[in-house]
Structure 1
Amino acid sequence: MTAPSITIKDVAALAGVSPATASRVLSGNPATSADSRQKVAAAVTELDFHPNAQARALRSTRTNVIGLLVSDVRNPFFADLAHAAEQAALAEGLVTLLGNANESIPQQDRYLDTFISQRVDGIIAAPQGEGSSSLRALLEREIPTVFVDRTVDGIDVPSVTTDSDAGIRQAVEHLARQGHERVGYIAGPQTTSTGRDRLKSFARAAGEFGLSTDPALTYFGDFQSASGSAGAHHLLGLAQPPTALLAADSPMAVGALATLNRKGLRIGRDMALVAFDDIEWFSLLDPPLTVISHDVEAMGRTAVRLLLEVIDGQKPASVVLPSELIVRASSGTPDASLGQP
C-alpha cells in the first residue's frame, strides 16, 4: 500500500517536474509533454503512488476554464495582456472567459459573479476600486485568484505588477536634463493601486530632480482617453503652463496627443510628451513617442503560471516586473518662449 506520507510533491520531485505539471499529468490534461508523462508515470510506479479518492473527485470537477477580467478592453495594454494570458492558458489546456470591467466597479462585479456561477477553475483579475463585495466573495469561496497589474489593500492573493517607480524616475530625470522645469502630470484614478503608486513616484522624482512641485501641474484622469484630452487642455490653460506632459497610461497619452494636435503644438518642440505604457504604433508616430515600457507579454504569461500554481494548492510569491524609459523624439528640449506669461 502507498505510504500515507507519499504526496504528489514527492512524485514531482522524483520525476524532476513541478507539482503543477505532475498534477496535470495525473489528471489527464493533454497540455503535457510526452517526456513529462513518461517521467511522472515512472515516479508513480516507483513510489507506488495512488491518488486518494477525494482528491481524484476534486480533480474531476474541474472545468478547464478560467476567468480573465481586464480593466478596459479598449486600452491596448490590456488587449495585449489578455492575448498573452489567453495564449498561455490555451497552451496549458485551459479556455479563457474574458470580462471587460470598463474601469467600472459595478461592471467588474457583474463579470466576477458570472465567473463564480460558471464555476471557473480560477480567476485572473485587474481589480477595480478598493475591494468590492464580489472581489471578497472570491476569497470566501476559496476560488483560486491572481491579481494582475493592480492590487487591492487587504486582499492577500498572488499578483503580477510593474515596478513603475524605476521608469517614472528615469522619465523625470530625462525631462529635467532636457531643461524642463514645469512638467504636467496626467494621473490615473487614485482608487487604483497603479494610479496611486505612479503619482507618488512622479512627485518623489520631481522633488529629487528639481522640477516644480506646483500642485496645479497635476490633473487627475481616469485611465481613459477623454480624461487625457481634458487634462492636456486644462494644463495648457494654466497661467504658467508646463513645457512637458507625462501621462500615466497610454489612452490618456492618446487623448493628450489629440489636444496638442488640435492646438497646433509641435510634439517634441513646442511641447514634450511622455507616455506610460508602450504600444506598437507609438514608435511609428511623427515624432515617435517617448514611453515608459514594461513587458506586458511576461505579465500575462506569469499571471497564468501563478494561477495554475494556486489551483494546484500552492502559495506562489507575487512577482514585480521592471519598467524602463525608452527615449524617442517626443521629449525634446523646451522652446524658450513656452511657459511665458
Structure 2
Amino acid sequence: MVTVTIKDVAALAGVSPATASRVLSGHPATSSGSRARVTAAVEQLDFRPNAQARSLRSTRTNVVGLLVSDVRNPFFADLAHAVEQAALEAGYVILLGNANELEDQQNRFLDTLIDQRVDGVIVAPQGDGSGSIRSLLNRGIPMVFVDRRVDGVDVPSVTTDSREGIQQAVAHLADQGHRRIGYIAGPQSISTGRERHSAFTDALRTAGLDHDPALTAFGNFQIASGAAATEQLLQLNYPPTAILAADSPMAAGSVAKLHEMGLRIGRDIALVAFDNIDWFALLNPPLSVISHSVEDMGRIAVELLVNVIGGGQPASVSLPSELIIRESSSHRLPAPLNPQRNN
C-alpha cells in the first residue's frame, strides 16, 4: 500500500508543499488557482491528511471517546446510539469502547483514548475513580460520567433518579397484595447498584413492608447473575411472590429462570424490571418496567461534554424514572383468609 503525502499533492498541483498545506488548512493567503489545483490533486490522489499530525498542530481532533459498561446490555447499546447521533450533530465522531463491567478493561480503553488525543470522553465508570480515570483528570482531558458516578470525583454527570420509579414499583406490588418482594440488586461497588438498593429498602418502609435481607440477592448487572439470583430467592423457605430486578440483563436472566422452573410470570409470580427495553413489551406476558429516557441521557451527556470542552463547568443532571405497569405484575393476589374465632 502506497501512502500519499502532502508532497505528492503539491507535485501534482504544481505548487510548493507549504502552499498545499496552507490550502488544506484553509489559510486565506492562497490564490484561487492554487486552491483549485490542490483540490483537484487531493481528489485525484484520494489524499487523506494525517489526523494525528494535524491534531498536534491544532490540539483538536473532533473525536470523543465513549466507554459503556457492557455493550451486550440493550440499555447501553441504545445509549451508544443516542450519544453517537448527538455527537455527529455537534461535529464529533465517536470511538466506542466496552468495559464488560471490568475495571481493567476500562483502563485499557481509556489509556488508548489518551494516546489518541481525543477531545473528550463520556464514561459509564467502573471502580473507585483511580487508574485511567485519574489519569484523564490529571491531564485535564474533558470528561463526563453517564448513568453512573464515582464518589469523590468531581465530574459533570447525567444519571437517573431511580428512587421515584422504584417507589412506584414497590407501592404497586404492595397494592396487588404482595408482602414478600424479592429484589435482584446490582453490585454495590457501582453507584447505580448502591442507589437502587437503598431506594428499594426505603420503598419497603414507605409501603409498610418488612425488610427481610434474605429477599435480596446480589448480581453483577449481567444475565447469568439474574438467573442465579432468581433461583436463590425461590429456594427460600418463604419465597417471594414478586421480584424486582435492578437492570434489564438481570431481568432477562430472571425471565429465563422462571420459564425453566415452569412458573407463569404474572400469575405464579410477578416481575418488574428496571429499564424499558423495547422487547420487554413483546414478551408473553409483557413485562412491567421502570422507565427512564436513554435518548435524553445520551443527548445531555454530549451537551455536557461539549460545554466542558469549551471551558464551561456545567452542573450535573438527574433524569426522572417512572413505572409502566403491564401484565407481568397486574394480577392481584387473593387476600389471605382471616382465622375464624370460636364463639
TM over 0.5: yes
2: CA distance between counterparts of 1:320 and 1:179? 32
User: When the two structures are aligned, how many residues end up with a matched partner?
Assistant: 283
Aligned counterparts of 1:214 and 1:160: Cα–Cα separation in 2: 32
**Deviations 1:194-232 (CA, angstroms, capped at 9, x unpaired):** 000000000001111022311000001000000000000
Matching residue of 2:298 = 300
Distance 1:244 1:291 in 2: 13
One-letter amino acid of the structure 2 residue matched with residue 66 of structure 1: V
User: 2:32 is matched with which residue?
Assistant: none
Q: Residue 58 of structure 1: CA displacement?
A: 9.2
**1:272 and 2:270 correspond:** yes
Match of 2:71 in 1: 73
Alignment of 1:25-104 (within 5 A): 60-104=58-102
Structural mapping, 1:98-177, within 5 Å: 98-177=96-175
How far does residue 129 in structure 1 lie from its aligned partner after superposition? Answer: 1.6
Whether the 8 Å contact between 2:221 and 2:249 is mirrored in structure 1 is yes
Runs of 4+ in structure 1 deviating by more than 4 angstroms, as ranges, are none
Deviation string for 1:151-210 (max 9, x for gaps)? 001110100000000000000000000000000000000000000000000000111102
The answer on whether the counterparts of 2:204 and 2:211 sit within 8 Å (CA) in structure 1 is yes
1:83-121 per-residue CA deviation (whole Å, 9 max, x = no partner) reads 000011011111100000000000000011011111000
Is 1:333 the counterpart of 2:332? The answer is yes
Question: Which ranges of structure 1 fall in alignment gaps of 5 or more residues?
Answer: 1-26, 29-56
Q: Distance in 2 between the 1:321 and 1:170 partners?
A: 16
In 1, Cα distance between equivalents of 2:93 and 2:293: 23
SS in 1 for 2:140: coil
One-letter amino acid matched to 1:283: A
Q: 125-134 vs 312-321, which deviates more? A: 125-134
Distance in 2 (alpha carbons) for counterparts of 1:256 and 1:85: 29
Is this contact kept in 1: 2:177–2:335, CA < 8 A?
no
Distance in 2, matches of 1:310 and 1:58, equals 20
Q: 1:236 aligns with which of 234, 237, 249?
A: 234
Cα shift at 1:59 = 8.8
2:18 equivalent in structure 1:
none
Structure 1 counterpart of 2:207 = 209
Distance in 1 of aligned mates of 2:99 and 2:332? 39
Q: Which amino acid aligns with 2:62?
A: N
Distance 2:335 2:194 in 1: 33
Give unmatched runs, 5+ long, in structure 2: 1-24, 27-54, 337-343
Match of 1:284 among 266, 282, 285: 282
For the pair shown, which has the larger CA radius of gyration, 1 or 2?
2
Instruction: Compute the RMSD of aligned alpha carbons.
Output: 1.6
**Contact 2:177-2:334 within 8 A present in 1 as well:** no
Cα offset for 1:82? 0.3
Query: Normalising to structure 2: TM-score of the pair?
Result: 0.80
Assess if the C-alpha contact under 8 Å between 1:270 and 1:335 holds in 2.
Answer: no
